[in-house]
Structure 1
Amino acid sequence: MLRAKGDDDIFRPIIIDGVVVRDKKFLQRLGKVLRLRWLHGKSVEIRKSLIDRIIPSFACRAVENNDFISLSVLLEKMDASCETYDKFTPLHTACELGNLEMINFLLSKGVSPYHKDRFGNCPMYMAIKNRQCHAVKLLSLEGVTVKLQTVRIAMEMIQALQNRDYPLLRAWFLSGVDMNAKDYNERTVMHEAVYLGDTSMIGRLLEYGATPLVRDVWGQTAMDNAQNDTMMALFEPFFAMHLSAV
C-alpha cells in the first residue's frame, strides 16, 4: 500500500493493487465541500464565488490522481470547463500529465480544448511543453490546434533546437504546426539547425516537412547558409533541383 507523505496532503490517493481508494479524512473533506453546509448564512454572491474557486481545484487534483469517480461527482456541481484562480481547467492538467483516458473523458464532457489559462496557454500547448507526444497526437486527431502566434511558435521551436530538445520538437511537429514558421527575422527552425551544424536535426526536420528554401529578412535561405557538403547532401537531390529551377 502506497501513501503520500505528510498529514497535510489529503488529496493524494491511496492505491491498493492498482485501485484508487480514499482515507476517511479525504472523504470527510470532500463531503463537506459537496454538501456545501459550510456556506450557510453567507450571501448568494459569496457562495458562488467560493464554490467557483474551490471545486475547480479539487477537480484538477482529481485529474492528477487519475480519480474518475471523484472527478465525476465534482463535475455534477460545476461545468467541466471550470477553472482555478489561474484559469487552469481539468483538461489543462490532463494534457500536462499526458493522461489519454482523462483527456478523452473531459472532451466527451464538452470541455473546450481552446480555453486559455491566465498565461495564455491552451491545453494543447501544455501537452507540447511537457513533451506528451501521445496526448498531442490525440488532440491533433480530434482536430485541436495550437492557438498561438506564428512568431511565438517559431521562436519556441528554435529555442528547443538550441537546447537539443528533440522530444519537444517532435511534440511541435505532431501538433500540426507549420514547421516553416518564421520568427521576427523570418528565420525558421531549419535556418537555426544549419547555423548550428546539427545534421541530425536537419534530417529530422526534413522528415517533419520543413524546407531549406524559406528566405529570412536578409534574403538568405537555410540552403544558402549550408556549411559543408554533408549538409548539402541532405538537401539533394530534391531541393537542389528545385532551387536551380527557380
Structure 2
Amino acid sequence: MVRHYSISLCPRGIRSDTIGTGSDDQNLGSAGVDIEARNNDLSTPLHEAIRAGNKPTTTVLISLGANIQAKDRNGTTALDLAALEGKVELVEVLLVNKADVTVTDIEKWTPLHSAASRGHEPIVTVLLSHKASIDARDSQGQTPIYQTIKNGHRDLSSHLLLKGANWSVSDSHGRTVLHYAAMAGDGHVAKMLLEKGVDVMAADETGKTALHCAVKSGHSGVGRVLLDLGKADVTSVDNKKRTPLHHAAGNGHSDSVEMLLRHNAPMEARDIHGSTPLLYAANSGHESTVTILVNESADINAIDDQGCSALHLAAKQGHLQVLIQLVHEGVNVDATNVKGKTALQLASDEDNDNIVSELKKEGGSRKNVKHNVEEEEVKVEKVERNRILEHSHSGKASADGAGKKAEGVPSSVFYLLIPVLMAVTFFTVR
C-alpha cells in the first residue's frame, strides 16, 4: 500500500507532517512513500524537505530518484526554494546532483534572482561558480542586481558589480539600476554606478530620471550625489512636465526641497496643468514645504489652468494650517477660479467647516480693514483738494496782479472805458 504524506497550512507555508523530521528518512523507500506526491500547492516531498531545512531527508529523496527539477504551482524548483531561503548546504547538495541553475519560475526568476533578492551572498557565490547567468532577465526585464538594489543589499550589489553585472541595461519600464538605487536611497551604489559611467539622465517610461526618483522618495543625499557627481539636470521634466522639485514638494520632503533650491531648481516651473511646486505642496497639505517655498519668495498667488491658487487647493482639500499660513502671507482670499468660485466656496462645497470658519473670519477682518482704509483715503482726499484750491486762488491773484502791473494801467481807467465800449458795441450791431 502506498502511503501519501499529509500536509497542513501554517503561517510560513505548507508543511509536511511526515517528511522532514529525519526519524524515518532511511525507511521512506521501504515504507512505500510516493516521492512524487503533490499537495494543493503542487509541492513535492523534496520541496517540503527543503522548506524544513533537512539535509538527510533531501539526500535520501534524491537517492530514491525524486525529480530534482519538479516545480510547484509557482514554478519553483527545490533549488529556487533553497536559494530563496538561504540554505547554502542544501543548495550545494542540489547542485552536486545536477540541479539546473538556469531554470525559471512563472516570473522567470532564476535561483540567482531568488538568492539576490534575500541578500544571500554565499549562495550567490556558489551559483555563480556553477555558471549561473549574472545578467538573466525576469519577466520585468530585471537582472539579479536589480533585486539586490531594490531590497537594500548594498554589499551584495557591490559584489555583483565587481563580478561584472551589466549596469547599463534597463527593465521593461525603462528604469536602470541607477533609478532603483535612487529610489532605495543607496548613495554608495549610486556613486559606483556613476563612476562606471551610467547615464544619469536616462529616463524611464514616464520620463523620470534618477533625480526625480530620489527626491520623490525623500532621499536628498542621493539627490546631492546625482547633482554634484553625476551633474544631473535639476530642470529636467517628466512626461507631465514635472520637475524634481514638483515631486519633492508634492510628497512633502522638505530636505529634498531645500537641497534642490540650493541647486537653483526653478520654483515657478509649471507642469502640464499649469501647477507650480507650491501648488503641489499646498494640495497635499505639507505645511513645512509650503513654508520653505514661501520663504524663498514663491508666488503665493500663482494659479493653475483651472484658475486655482494654493489657497483654493488647501481649502478644497481641508488643509487648515496651510491655509492659515497662506492667509498670513497675504494671499488673495477673494480670487476666483475659472468657474468663478472662491476658496471659501470650494471649502463649503466640500463641507470643510473649519476652513469655512477661518475664511469667514478672515473675510470680516478684511472688511473692517477695508472700511478703515476707505475712511482714511476720504480724509486724505479732502485735505489734498483744499490744499489745491487754496494754491489755485493764491496763484490766480498773483497772476492778475502781475498782469496789471506789467500793463501799467490804473484800475479806475477800466471803469471809465466801460460806457464807451458799450456804445461802440451798440452801433456795431446796428
Question: Could you state the TM-score of these two structures normalised by the residue count of structure 1?
Answer: 0.60
CA-CA distance at 1:70 after TM superposition: 2.2
1:74 aligned to 2:91? Answer: no
CA-CA distance at 1:68 after TM superposition: 3.0
1:31 aligned to 2:66? Answer: no
Residues 136 and 144 of structure 2 are in contact (CA less than 8 Å); yes or no, is this contact kept in structure 1?
Answer: yes
1:53 aligned to 2:82? Answer: no
Residues 132 and 171 of structure 1 are in contact (CA less than 8 Å); yes or no, is this contact kept in structure 2?
Answer: no
1:166 aligned to 2:185? Answer: yes
Matches within 5 A, 1:174-189: 174=192, 177-184=198-205, 186-189=207-210
User: Which amino acid is the alignment partner of residue 92 of structure 1?
Assistant: H
TM-aligned CA distance change 1:72 to 1:234, over 3 Å: same
Q: Once the two structures are superposed, what CA deviation does each residue of 1:29-85 show, in whole Å capped at 9, x if it has no partner?
A: 55224431x6xxxxxxxxxxx653349621122223433332222123233323345
Q: Matched residues in 2 for 1:196 and 1:12: separation?
A: 36
User: Which amino acid is the alignment partner of residue 67 of structure 1?
Assistant: K
Q: Once the two structures are superposed, what CA deviation does each residue of 1:173-219 show, in whole Å capped at 9, x if it has no partner?
A: 6556433212346442335667899755532432552412675489x
Q: Matched residues in 1 for 2:84 and 2:126: separation?
A: 14
Q: Matched residues in 2 for 1:108 and 1:150: separation?
A: 28
State percent identity of aligned pairs.
21
Give the one of 43, 50, 53 matched to 1:11: 50
Matches within 5 A, 1:151-230: 152-153=174-175, 157=179, 161=183, 165-167=184-186, 174=192, 177-184=198-205, 186-191=207-212, 200-207=221-228, 209-212=230-233, 215-216=236-237
Structure 2 gaps of 5+ residues are 1-11, 17-47, 250-256, 266-430
1:63 aligned to 2:83? Answer: yes
Equivalent position of 2:395 in the other structure: none
Q: Matched residues in 2 for 1:77 and 1:158: separation?
A: 34
TM-aligned CA distance change 1:68 to 1:159, over 3 Å: closer
Q: Matched residues in 2 for 1:80 and 1:196: separation?
A: 35
Q: Matched residues in 2 for 1:83 and 1:106: separation?
A: 14
Q: Matched residues in 2 for 1:115 and 1:68: separation?
A: 21
Q: Matched residues in 2 for 1:174 and 1:152: separation?
A: 20
Question: Could you state the TM-score of these two structures normalised by the residue count of structure 2?
Answer: 0.38
CA-CA distance at 1:86 after TM superposition: 3.9
Residues 173 and 179 of structure 1 are in contact (CA less than 8 Å); yes or no, is this contact kept in structure 2?
Answer: no
Q: Once the two structures are superposed, what CA deviation does each residue of 1:7-26 show, in whole Å capped at 9, x if it has no partner?
A: 53543456xxxxxxx3xxx6
Task: Report how many aligned residue pairs link the two structures.
Answer: 206
Q: Matched residues in 2 for 1:95 and 1:144: separation?
A: 12
1:148 aligned to 2:170? Answer: yes
**3-state secondary structure, aligned to 2:69:** helix
CA-CA distance at 1:166 after TM superposition: 2.1
Larger mean CA deviation between 137-146 and 152-161 belongs to: 152-161
1:91 aligned to 2:112? Answer: yes
Aligned-residue RMSD, C-alpha: 4.5
Equivalent position of 2:425 in the other structure: none
1:112 aligned to 2:141? Answer: no
TM-aligned CA distance change 1:187 to 1:121, over 3 Å: closer
Q: Matched residues in 2 for 1:7 and 1:155: separation?
A: 37
TM-aligned CA distance change 1:207 to 1:106, over 3 Å: farther
TM-aligned CA distance change 1:211 to 1:71, over 3 Å: same
Q: Matched residues in 1 for 2:245 and 2:234: separation?
A: 8
Q: Matched residues in 2 for 1:33 and 1:54: separation?
A: 15
Q: Matched residues in 2 for 1:229 and 1:160: separation?
A: 18
User: Which amino acid is the alignment partner of residue 144 of structure 1?
Assistant: A
Q: Matched residues in 2 for 1:7 and 1:31: separation?
A: 18
**3-state secondary structure, aligned to 1:153:** coil
User: Which amino acid is the alignment partner of residue 134 of structure 2?
Assistant: P
CA-CA distance at 1:106 after TM superposition: 1.2
Residues 185 and 217 of structure 1 are in contact (CA less than 8 Å); yes or no, is this contact kept in structure 2?
Answer: yes
Structure number with the bigger relative contact order (C-alpha 8 A, sep ≥ 6) is: 1
Residues 63 and 71 of structure 1 are in contact (CA less than 8 Å); yes or no, is this contact kept in structure 2?
Answer: yes
